[in-house]
Structure 1
């Protein structure tokens, strides 16, 4: 059997380890448009990490180590959103993504603490190391989710006993509550975990009966838009999908993959490592119109992304940039470049892509995103600029070594401090 492990309210559970006063009360971890990496005075708390890997594991972390007032209060306004709410808080209707101001209006006694991502990252890494000693195959899916394969290791009749023991040991060793789902398919195991929460175990042996009455939008990978599309085709529950095989197969690979996952016949393996397909950084910011300040922030984000790419020794060929405006409109652009990677190259490309993407130059921007993909062998290059490209690449490598030793902010572009 395959299993899916999901830490319950991970961030707030982690904070409760440091501060037991947060236990058994409505509490939450909040976040905001990253007031740190754009600070002109310098910010040494941000770190780049590659210890954890997975489809949704970020690689840029920081510890806030500050107070609610210093982090969330700006003038007379309370900024930020709820990242993770305790189950005690959820009973009052407090949810992830809700503004902190709205959450406090619902429950004024709610305790909201600033995030400490390096700390969460470290706990996640320790848990992964522990799981790898207990389970033959472990896949990290996100910072708080893992898959495991018990096939040929634990007999099916002993699965429940093993999982209860594992859950208890994690609680005792890490002080973290965790929910576990089990099934022959990894995606049914993940679905089962949602029925095990909080701090429970759900084992699925009869997939057809299990999925029969579950709304389709609860399945991993089926978003609201696709769910509406299926609803128009009279498919409302996961159980309805079995008799729609021809429809899903007509959608080729995506449809066939989803059909098999829902029915638990996908037979997808546990991946102990993920070939990296892309790497990026995104930041939500308070509404901002000043384009010169936005360019400064694009350069800062480029510096952090370049550092990540250099540490991983990657050579991207595609570069992407996207903008989200305060009226919810989005714009994006991309570019293909075959040159040895360096920080200046990335900075120049992202500034160019930002200018091309900015189709509403007089509107407020609330989110900036950049990424790189389609990595290639570093032997591929543009012969006309090769000499200068290699010079810049070697300079970037030296910069990376300095930042490894003294911190990501030790070297900056001059415009960052203006």
Structure 2
């Protein structure tokens, strides 16, 4: 069978490890899309990591070591949204995605905490290493979720006892409550976990799957968001059983519909993947609307600094670069280029700024999101063939490696370009 582990209210549970006095109290961990990375001042505990990998594991985050006012209050306005909340807070109506202002109005006694992602990632990585010794094939799906394949390791009849023992061991060893689901297929196991929450287990054998799945509303299934739900309901499909009976319709929707049909049916045969080759890495940030292109270029240079620091951690040479822009009224511009060059922070900066000049076609509009990335990794640096260009690129690469050592030890903001502070 396949199992799915989901750490309950993970960020809130981590905060209780740091402060046991928060136990049984309504707490929420908040976040801000663009709090400090573009500040002209340094020392905001921004870091990057590739230690935990998964579909929804961020690489760049802010590690707050500050008060509520320092993090959430800007010009006397409370900014930010709830990114997770304890079950006590959820009982008061607090939901993920709610603004901090709304959450405090909903529950005046709510304790709202800035995020400490470094600690969350540390606990996630420690748990992953521990699980790898107990589950033969383990896949990290997000910072607080894992899939495991028990086939050939634990007999199906012993799975309920195994996952309950695993749940209790995790809580004893790490102090973290976890819910675990088990089923013959990957996504049914994830659905089973939702029925086990909080801090419980649910094992589904093949004979039990249809009775469990069919009555559930379509929104309960992982991967069915608002858009797909609205589309299905237009055809009077309200439950997963009704979805399973509409094979002809789902097949008309090509790959997304076909994939969803087989996942809900439990015959998708999707395997648990122990490791993924990293094909690309990137950083994006949503920002308040900015018209000034000089300020946009400054922010792109800052993103280049963070992305280049990520590249040092995988010790690879990217050949493909990407830039994406979103404007205030929804317009978008994006482009990628693939060409050999010797990677360094300065080289990355030059290429990204060139891309920006080429694709910024709506110059009268404010920009609200920036994203850069790189991929097509090789193991050795390459060059375009110019001797003089090669010498300059190698000099820049040596400088980049030296600054990376200092940033690794003292923080990414330790060494910055003068243009970033103007």
- The TM-score, its normalising length taken from structure 1, stands at 0.91
Aligned pairs for 1:109-128 within 5 A: 109-128=109-128
The corresponding residue for 1:335 is 336
Shift of the 265–45 alpha-carbon distance from structure 1 to 2, 3 Å rule, reads same
1:329-379 deviation per Cα after TM superposition (whole angstroms, max 9, x unaligned): 141311213123222232223334444554544544443222223435647
The corresponding residue for 2:247 is 245
8 Å contact from structure 1 (residues 322, 333) kept in 2: yes
Following superposition, the deviation at residue 156 of structure 1 comes to: 1.8
* CA distance, structure 1, for counterparts of residue 361 and residue 111 of structure 2: 40
Deviates more, 1:330-339 or 1:71-80: 330-339
1:263 to 262, 265, 271: 265
Following superposition, the deviation at residue 88 of structure 1 comes to: 1.5
Deviates more, 1:349-358 or 1:75-84: 349-358
Aligned pairs for 1:346-361 within 5 A: 346-356=348-358, 358-361=360-363
Listed as ranges, the gaps of 5+ residues in structure 1 are none
1:410 equivalent in alignment to 2:414: yes
The corresponding residue for 2:215 is 213
Deviates more, 1:207-216 or 1:76-85: 207-216
8 Å contact from structure 2 (residues 64, 116) kept in 1: yes
* CA distance, structure 2, for counterparts of residue 390 and residue 277 of structure 1: 24
Listed as ranges, the gaps of 5+ residues in structure 2 are none
* CA distance, structure 2, for counterparts of residue 354 and residue 280 of structure 1: 16
Following superposition, the deviation at residue 307 of structure 1 comes to: 1.1
8 Å contact from structure 1 (residues 63, 116) kept in 2: yes
Shift of the 100–326 alpha-carbon distance from structure 1 to 2, 3 Å rule, reads farther
Aligned pairs for 1:255-294 within 5 A: 255-294=257-296
Following superposition, the deviation at residue 102 of structure 1 comes to: 1.3
Following superposition, the deviation at residue 175 of structure 1 comes to: 1.4
8 Å contact from structure 1 (residues 339, 389) kept in 2: no
The corresponding residue for 1:399 is 403
Deviates more, 1:127-136 or 1:212-221: 212-221
The corresponding residue for 1:187 is 187
The 3-state SS of whatever aligns with 1:134 is coil
Aligned pairs for 1:63-82 within 5 A: 63-82=63-82
1:156-210 deviation per Cα after TM superposition (whole angstroms, max 9, x unaligned): 2221111111111111121111111111111111121122211121222222222
Report how many residues are paired.
Answer: 417
* CA distance, structure 2, for counterparts of residue 350 and residue 100 of structure 1: 35
8 Å contact from structure 2 (residues 181, 192) kept in 1: yes
Shift of the 347–109 alpha-carbon distance from structure 1 to 2, 3 Å rule, reads same
8 Å contact from structure 1 (residues 331, 357) kept in 2: no
8 Å contact from structure 2 (residues 323, 336) kept in 1: no
Shift of the 233–94 alpha-carbon distance from structure 1 to 2, 3 Å rule, reads same
Following superposition, the deviation at residue 291 of structure 1 comes to: 3.2
1:54-77 deviation per Cα after TM superposition (whole angstroms, max 9, x unaligned): 111122234211110111112311
* CA distance, structure 1, for counterparts of residue 170 and residue 120 of structure 2: 15
Shift of the 383–247 alpha-carbon distance from structure 1 to 2, 3 Å rule, reads farther
* CA distance, structure 2, for counterparts of residue 109 and residue 231 of structure 1: 38
8 Å contact from structure 2 (residues 322, 337) kept in 1: no
1:58-116 deviation per Cα after TM superposition (whole angstroms, max 9, x unaligned): 22234211110111112311111111111111222221111111111111221101110
Aligned pairs for 1:26-105 within 5 A: 26-43=26-43, 45-105=45-105
1:259-311 deviation per Cα after TM superposition (whole angstroms, max 9, x unaligned): 22221112222111112132111223344444322321221111101110232
* CA distance, structure 2, for counterparts of residue 330 and residue 316 of structure 1: 28
* CA distance, structure 2, for counterparts of residue 286 and residue 56 of structure 1: 24
- The TM-score, its normalising length taken from structure 2, stands at 0.90
The 3-state SS of whatever aligns with 1:336 is strand
The 3-state SS of whatever aligns with 2:332 is strand
Following superposition, the deviation at residue 383 of structure 1 comes to: 3.0
Following superposition, the deviation at residue 7 of structure 1 comes to: 0.6
The corresponding residue for 1:224 is 226
8 Å contact from structure 1 (residues 322, 330) kept in 2: no
